[in-house]
Amino acid sequence: MVFLGSLTAAFAVIANHSLRSWDNQLTGRLTIQIPPLENGADSARLDQALETIRGVPGVATADVIEPATVSALLEPWIGTLPADADLPMPHLIDVAVNDPHDFKSTDLAEALATVVPGASVDDHRIFLVGLIKLAGTVRALAIITVVIIGMSAVAAVVFATRSGLAIHAPTIELLHLMGAPDAYIASLFQRHALLLGLRGSLLGALVAAVALASIARLATEIDTALLPDLAVRPLDVLIILAVPVTAVLLVMATARLTVLRSLVRMA
């Protein structure tokens, strides 16, 4: 139970991180491509485009990316260009928007379409928004799973502790008849449960840690930029460690309450 609980907690933590990091990447940058014209009357068109873009509500800045930078960006694909090459290069405009969550790139495209036909708007955000939604769903699922596993873990721990105590019923009754106070007997079995719970929890946590470490290793080998950030932070370790600790506390509380309940039934 501790094993499952720890793993699920870990996945929830990871989904949470992915969501946050993708969300941060949603910085709100768009790139606009303006195809070059044959007659070289580009600069007027560029100015017009910039003016239009800056006029769209929500746009913070819009700047032309220098042709030299564009060449540098293209270099890996088409090689170094001769200085006097007269290739028709597309003009790129870098646009920053104020609120990436609110901004609709279609507004920008519409505004541009009438002024500069052929301009295209690259919105990286569309892809990211999809991922963020996915991560949100994964996180919700993870949380639901954690809750469900948590509840069944609680039920399992309570049940196991209680049936474990059932075999000690004669001992409990004997101590009671010998004049041991209820609290004394309860703490005796609470301590007993602590030892048992610690053993089980440590084992479960250890196996979970090994499993998590191997998953993290595999993930770094795959190493795609989009894979969730599996690096586990100190705070996450605490969250994941909370599972076995909670389990032990639960075992102890169950033992105590079960013993006290059985004692109260005695005269």
265 near another protein, rule: CB under 8 A = no
178 binding another protein? (CB under 8 A): yes
In 3D, which of 213, 215, 202 has the Cα closest to residue 241? 202
Whichever of 67 and 181 has its CB closer to another protein, that residue is 181
Residue 166 C-alpha from the chain's centroid: 43
- Amino acid at site 79: G
Task: Tell me the three state secondary structure of residue 97.
Answer: strand
Among 184, 227, 231, 238, binds another protein (CB under 8 A): 184
Residues 190-209: x/- map of binding to another protein (CB under 8 A)?
--------------------
Interface with another protein by CB under 8 A: which range of 12-20, 170-178, 229-237, 253-261?
170-178
Angle at 241 between CA 235 and CA 244, to 5 degrees: 160
Using the rule CB under 8 A, give the single segment among 92-100, 110-118, 152-160, 168-176 that binds another protein: 168-176
Strand partners, 91: 34
Among 40, 82, 179, 234, binds another protein (CB under 8 A): 179
Candidates 89, 96, 180, 206; binder of another protein (CB under 8 A) is 180
What's the rounded Cα separation, in Å, for the pair 122 and 120? 7
Per rule CB under 8 A, is residue 151 in the interface with another protein?
Answer: no
Q: Which is nearer to another protein, 178 or 235 (CB)?
A: 178
Relative to beta strand 29-34, strand 120-123 is antiparallel
**Complex with another protein: residue 76 or 179, whichever CB lies closer:** 179
Identified binder of another protein from the candidate list 73, 118, 181, 238, rule CB under 8 A: 181
Which residues are CB-neighbours of 135 under 8 A, at least 6 positions away? 15, 18, 19, 22, 228
Q: How far is the CB of 143 from another protein (least distance, A)?
A: 43
Closest C-alpha among 48, 70, 50, 47 to residue 59: 50
Q: Under the criterion CB under 8 A, does residue 266 sit at the interface with another protein?
A: yes
Determine the Cα angle at 45 with ends 40 and 47, to 5°: 125
Q: Which residues bind another protein (CB under 8 A)?
A: 170-171, 174-182, 184, 266-267
